[in-house]
């Protein structure tokens, strides 16, 4: 490999790592906002009786279209988090570091679990679904914090001659 190709690859890799770090930081911020909205919905939001027993699709649709404003924002931000998690996973794959990929997979799975638990909560209003949502959000925050921690090492290593 020529020096130009090697430099080009290093620059591209550094850009992917930077994108992954930005994506991960944004996910942590969004997850913290999502967590606060979830607490608000759980404590103060009133879910319509017609939502009880709703399945995933119906629960999400009703949460967005007919739920209290806090619940609607919570559901839409959750959908945005799924998109962000997929983007983080794609960026981690481009960086080609197994620990980053594993953390991104953990973050995506945790966000999906939180979303499924949220849809269950809309249908059942159960404490278990609420606890599962909160725990999954915490796991996702941890996964993206790990990415921020270990991707800094990768960026530092690539910057060295």
DSSP one-letter code for 126: -
Torsion of CA 135, 137, 139, 145, to 10 degrees: -150
pLDDT exceeds cutoff 80 at 103: yes
pLDDT bracket for residue 160 (50, 70, 90): very low
Answer for the pair 10, 127: CB distance below 8 angstroms, yes or no: no
Answer for the pair 75, 41: CB distance below 8 angstroms, yes or no: no
Q: How far apart are CA 10 and CA 160, in angstroms?
A: 11
Of residues 63, 80, 30, the one with CA closest to residue 129: 63
pLDDT bracket for residue 161 (50, 70, 90): very low
In this prediction, residue 67 carries a pLDDT of 74
Averaged pLDDT of the chain: 84
pLDDT exceeds cutoff 90 at 83: yes
Tens of pLDDT along 14-34? Answer: 888 999 999 999 999 999 999
Q: How far is CA 70 from CA 33, 60, 77, 102, 154, in A?
A: 11, 13, 10, 32, 39
Tens of pLDDT along 32-73? Answer: 999 999 888 888 877 766 666 666 777 777 778 877 888 889
**Domain coordinates of the chain in residue numbers?**
3-159
pLDDT bracket for residue 2 (50, 70, 90): low
> Per-residue pLDDT averaged across 146-158, rounded?
74
DSSP string for residues in 80-125: HHHHHHHHHHHHHHHHT-HHHHHHHHHHHHHHHHHHHHHHHHHHH-
How would you class 26 by CB atoms within 10 Å of its CB: exposed for 0-12, middle for 13-18, buried for 19 or more?
middle
Of residues 153, 160, 34, the one with CA closest to residue 103: 153
Identify the weakest region by mean pLDDT among 33-37, 41-45, 101-105, 137-141. 41-45
């Amino acid at each position: 490999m020529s020096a130009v190709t090697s430099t080009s690859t290093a620059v591209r890799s550094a850009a992917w790592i930077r994108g992954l770090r930005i994506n991960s930081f944004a996910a942590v911020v969004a997850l913290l906002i999502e967590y606060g909205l979830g607490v608000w919905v759980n404590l103060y939001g009133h879910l319509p009786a017609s939502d009880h027993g709703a399945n995933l699709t119906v629960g999400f649709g009703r949460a967005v279209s007919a739920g209290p404003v806090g619940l609607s924002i919570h559901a839409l931000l959750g959908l945005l988090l799924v998109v962000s998690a997929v983007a983080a996973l794609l960026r981690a794959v481009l960086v080609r570091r197994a620990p980053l990929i594993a953390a991104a997979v953990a973050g995506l799975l945790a966000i999906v679990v939180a979303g499924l638990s949220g849809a269950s909560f809309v249908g059942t209003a159960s404490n278990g679904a609420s606890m599962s949502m909160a725990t999954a959000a915490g796991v996702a925050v941890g996964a993206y914090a790990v990415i921020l921690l270990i991707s800094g090492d990768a960026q530092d290593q690539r910057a060295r001659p």
